[in-house]
Structure 1
Amino acid sequence: MKRCVLLLALLGMVFLGVNGMAADLKIGYVDLQKVLNESDAGKAAKQKIGEKVKEYEIQIQARQKELQAAKEELEKQALLLSDEARSKKEREYQQKLKELQRFTKDVREDLQMRDSDATKKILAEILKIVSSYGEEQGYTLILEKNESSLIYASDKIDLTDAILERYNQSRKK
């Protein structure tokens, strides 16, 4: 709602030229998703999470093999075992299945948390760069391309590449 009001007020100033303010406006936009995905820090975070995904996949596959072996063993012995022994083996199999499902759920949650934490950290750093860039370059307003209800904007006011370059440079210091 605040964004809508801000956008309407801004458009009103631009079109009506309230007290000459429109002439002083300098507006730009940034594609934060692009900066996040293409920055060195974003790529490193994505790679780190990708490595963790591979690690978890190996663990899940090993547990799935164990579970499959237990199932095959149960099927082979089903006719040879007493009802009580077969029930016990089935309960053990069901317990292992629940453990695998729980582990898979925990893995998914862990990966989502890691991704969210990395994204928040990097975005906080990027927003500092955007603010300092805006001040240095004399911008009145810098919008986020994907979240600001931006319907049209000329590429001339796209600051994404400048922000991306400055962010990568700031991380090398």
Structure 2
Amino acid sequence: MTRKLVLALVLICCTALPAVAAGDFKIAYIDLQKALNQSEAGKAAKEKIAQRVKEHETVFDGRQKELKKLKDDLEKQALLLSEEARGAKQRDFDQRLKEFQRATKDAQEEVQQKDADYTRAILEELSKVIQDFGAREGYAMILEKTESAVLFADAKFDVTDSLIKAYDASRKK
């Protein structure tokens, strides 16, 4: 896949040499990760995710303390309880532990899904801004800066900050 992408880029660049020589072929790149992290929408999304994680942590810290207390009580009373009572308490503890683990996993999945939803929405909006920006500024191509696709790019071709500003401005309208 990467070879095909690199080959396609090389072919595009080779076929565009006459246009480059004429000086009307502009290429730029954007660091989408930076745009996601530094745009106002990205910062707001990260804040919402962090708040949700904090809410989950508050709930789970309480439940974890409760489980620890149950386990400590079970260990302290192990010799005093009958085998049947000890087994019942152990089953109760095991059931609560499973519920806690399931709830923790569900919370993690919820946070990951919300993060993916926010990211997808921001990228959709950002894509439109990139299209408009590229057309308005006369770029023939705007690439995404990833380590696997762009091996080297001079910083003067980085339009990330300009696109972040354009994106933030488009959201205020």
User: How high is the TM-score relative to the length of structure 2?
Assistant: 0.92
SS for the counterpart of 1:29 is strand
Gaps in structure 1 of 5+ consecutive residues: none
SS for the counterpart of 1:51 is helix
SS for the counterpart of 2:142 is strand
Q: Which residue is 2:46 aligned to?
A: 46
SS for the counterpart of 1:152 is coil
Is the deviation greater in 142-151 or in 156-165? 142-151
Q: Which residue is 2:29 aligned to?
A: 29
SS for the counterpart of 1:25 is coil
SS for the counterpart of 2:146 is coil
Aligned equivalents of 1:61 and 1:33: distance in 2?
32
Give every structure 1 segment of 4 or more consecutive aligned residues whose post-TM-superposition deviation is greater than 2 Å.
1-6, 20-24
Pick closer, same or farther for the CA change 1:143–1:5 going to 2, 3 Å. same
Gaps in structure 2 of 5+ consecutive residues: none
Matched residue type, 2:36? L
1:55-87 alpha-carbon deviations (Å, 9 max, x no partner): 000111111111011112212221121111110
Q: Which residue is 1:163 aligned to?
A: 163
Is the deviation greater in 147-156 or in 119-128? 147-156
SS for the counterpart of 1:81 is coil
Computed over aligned residues only, the root mean square deviation of the Cα atoms, in angstroms, reads 1.4
Aligned equivalents of 1:158 and 1:77: distance in 2?
66
User: How high is the TM-score relative to the length of structure 1?
Assistant: 0.92
8 A Cα contact 1:3 1:148, kept in partner: no
Q: How many residues align?
A: 169
